[in-house]
Amino acid sequence: MSEWLEIGVIADIPRLGARALTINGVKIAIFRTADDEIFGLEDRCPHKDGPLSQGIVHGRSVACPLHNQVFHLDSGMGADPDDGCARTIQVRLTGGRIYIASGAGQQAAE
């Protein structure tokens, strides 16, 4: 059973934006869509290590700021025709507050 750590409120992240944080030495990006959905990915493009938190969020995807590769926020998978996968981070939104699974940084480091 995961424990959850509060990391902020949804208003901390602009719509179609992201917030970067570090947990257990791992950089994590928390994304907010136009529909106020929240997603988490390791803040690193698997191809060129670009900071995904600085990418452009559109729909339920983010484009790497270094080479425009697109990743689905819900699965981390590269959008066709791209391949690769960014590691997902378990997050949830409850009453306007954002929570991250307590072991998220450890999971991302494995």
16-26 per-position pLDDT tens digit: 999 999 998 99
- The domain in which residue 56 lies consists of 4-109
Sheet holding 91-94, edge to edge: 4-9, 97-101, 91-94
Q: Number of structural domains, the chain?
A: 1
Examine residue 14 and say whether the peptide bond preceding it is cis (omega within 30 degrees of 0). no
Give the integer Cα–Cα distance in Å for 34 and 58. Answer: 8
Is residue 22 within 8 Å of residue 1, measured between CB atoms? no
- CATH number for the domain including 104? 2.102.10.10
What's the pLDDT tens digit per position in 21-73?
A: 999 899 999 999 999 999 999 999 998 899 999 999 999 999 999 989 999 99
Q: What is the distance in angstroms between the CA of the first residue and the CA of the last residue of the chain?
A: 19
What's the predicted TM-score (pTM) here?
A: 0.90
- Which helix (H) or strand (E) element contains residue 108? helix 104-109
